[in-house]
């Protein structure tokens, strides 16, 4: 029954629809409608929460410190809460102002820039600020995220005073880093994924980006202003410093989220559970069948082998010969998912059971095929396709019911570099490989590296050999 929530439905549902003309992550561009997110907890007629004022979140930090990733993550989280939020990335305004295929003057990123570069900066800043005020004043926006370096204390003080004149609160979020390993990892990620370096030689891109960072370091002033609200994150969440002058409801929710956010590069693997002895029964919660046990073993062997292949490929390209990052296995509390993880657990991998990952109760649709559900419950199917997040079939659970399950599990892709790979598990019998759900009209991506499916953020374009090599380690964050 859960296959009715297909990618096509998600892409075309009025509450789900998002697009991105820059093919970044569906956050950088403006949504077609003023809905927040498909999974918001609640919303008001005005689009604003009655117990929270308007806020501008201002990012602070040198390049390659994860500011854009934090901005994108916060935008998604606040929209999910029902807060009308929009991120304003100064880099996007710079690229839009200069135009495609063109570049800024050589001294644009330097403090002692020429008059031409200064005027260009001011024009870009003016347009960005105008859009922020338009969103807050004329579109019932509640949180605007201003994503830029903002290196000087005097400039931050001026920003806070300017927004205060318009009855807008400011919250500064600084992402600082003194760990060279994290910086190198971020630079490597940015130089292969940022729109600024499309078509660049990788070595030249790294050299240019490091020069941009070096130009700002001597003039950068870290957050120490006692009269401003700010959160200072150091080394991707290793330490947090909070200066609370007048935090309200939303600011406290934002701080809570930042306490649980990381910006280090990680890889996430998704696998299906093995086949159970009563595959179609939700209530039985059956054990794995013999075929399911065989699948679990082959899947475990393939995953372990694949991780070692990736590590060796990195070494062959001149990367570090360090040990693989620890792998933690998450399963639901259902028997077949727990038993699928047993082979990995026996090899020393840590396994955590998380109830919020458990299958939704299908209610009266248990043991029914999708075709039978469409035949027996056409009205319910229509409601589901109109709002797949909130709708529930008779006596079933809705996706919205996931929220009360103890806590939220959120997997956030990199701000620019969203990549998916399918890893083939060899020698599986055809009868246990699931068919594609009925009525899906979008193509299933082939094995190997692909970009996300069209309509959800990034166009579907198979990666060439060179790109595959560069993306070999993926970049889920």
C-alpha span between 227 and 444 (Å, rounded): 53
C-alpha span between 447 and 436 (Å, rounded): 15
Let me know how long the chain is: 477
With beta carbons less than 8 A apart as the criterion, state whether 176 and 65 touch: yes
Closest CA to 151 of 105, 92, 217, 196: 217
Q: What is the β-pairing status of strands 230-234 and 239-243?
A: antiparallel
C-alpha span between 353 and 10 (Å, rounded): 27
Could you confirm whether 294 is annotated as catalytic?
no
C-alpha span between 88 and 58 (Å, rounded): 10
C-alpha span between 388 and 13 (Å, rounded): 8
Q: One of 25, 29, 147, 196 is an active-site residue; which one? A: 147
C-alpha span between 339 and 38 (Å, rounded): 33
C-alpha span between 226 and 228 (Å, rounded): 6
Q: What is the β-pairing status of strands 169-176 and 230-234?
A: parallel
With beta carbons less than 8 A apart as the criterion, state whether 166 and 87 touch: no
C-alpha span between 476 and 352 (Å, rounded): 20
Residue 119 burial class via C-beta count within 10 angstroms: exposed 0-12, middle 13-18, buried 19 and up = exposed
Query: Which residues participate in catalysis according to the annotation?
Result: 147
């Amino acid at each position: 029954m859960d296959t009715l929530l297909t990618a096509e439905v998600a892409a075309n549902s009025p509450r789900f629809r998002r697009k991105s003309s820059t093919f970044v992550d569906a956050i950088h561009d403006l949504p077609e409608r003023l809905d927040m997110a498909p999974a918001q907890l609640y919303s008001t007629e005005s689009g604003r929460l009655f117990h929270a004022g308007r806020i501008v979140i201002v990012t602070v930090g040198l390049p390659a410190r994860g500011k854009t990733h934090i901005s994108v993550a916060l935008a998604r989280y606040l929209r999910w809460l029902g807060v009308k939020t929009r991120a304003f990335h100064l880099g996007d305004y710079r690229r839009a102002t200069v135009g495609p295929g063109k570049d800024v003057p050589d001294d644009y990123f330097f403090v002692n820039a020429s008059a031409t570069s200064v005027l260009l900066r001011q024009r870009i800043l003016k347009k960005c600020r105008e859009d922020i005020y338009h969103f807050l004043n004329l579109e019932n926006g509640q949180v605007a995220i201003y994503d830029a370096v903002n290196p000087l204390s005097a400039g931050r003080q001026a920003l806070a005073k300017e927004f205060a004149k318009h009855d807008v609160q400011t919250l500064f979020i600084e992402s600082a880093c003194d760990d060279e390993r994290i910086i190198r990892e971020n630079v490597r990620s940015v130089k292969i994924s940022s729109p600024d370096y499309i078509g660049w030689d990788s070595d030249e891109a790294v050299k240019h980006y490091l020069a941009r960072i070096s130009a700002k370091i001597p003039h950068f002033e870290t957050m120490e202003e006692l009269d401003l609200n700010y959160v200072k994150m150091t080394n991707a969440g290793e330490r947090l410093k909070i200066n609370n002058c007048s935090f309200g409801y939303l600011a406290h929710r934002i701080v809570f989220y930042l306490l649980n956010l990381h910006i280090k590069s990680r890889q996430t693997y998704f696998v299906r559970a093995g086949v159970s002895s009563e595959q179609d029964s939700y209530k039985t919660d059956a054990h794995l069948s013999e075929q399911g046990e065989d699948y679990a073993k082959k899947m475990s062997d393939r995953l372990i082998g694949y991780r070692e292949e990736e590590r060796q490929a990195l070494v062959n390209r001149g990367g570090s010969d360090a040990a693989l990052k620890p792998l933690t296995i998450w399963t639901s509390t259902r028997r077949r998912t727990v038993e699928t993880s047993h082979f990995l657990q026996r090899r020393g991998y840590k396994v955590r059971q998380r109830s919020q990952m458990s299958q939704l109760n299908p209610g009266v649709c248990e043991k029914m095929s999708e075709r039978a559900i469409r035949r027996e419950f056409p009205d319910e199917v229509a409601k589901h396709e109109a709002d797949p997040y909130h709708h529930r079939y008779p006596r079933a659970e809705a996706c919205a019911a996931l929220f009360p399950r103890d806590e939220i599990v959120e997997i956030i892709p990199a701000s620019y570099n969203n990549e998916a790979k399918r890893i083939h598990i060899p020698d599986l019998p055809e009868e246990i490989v699931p068919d594609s759900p009925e009525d899906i009209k979008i193509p299933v991506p082939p094995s190997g590296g692909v970009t996300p499916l069209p309509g959800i953020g990034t166009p579907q374009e198979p990666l060439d050999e060179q790109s595959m090599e560069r993306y070999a380690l993926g970049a889920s964050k």
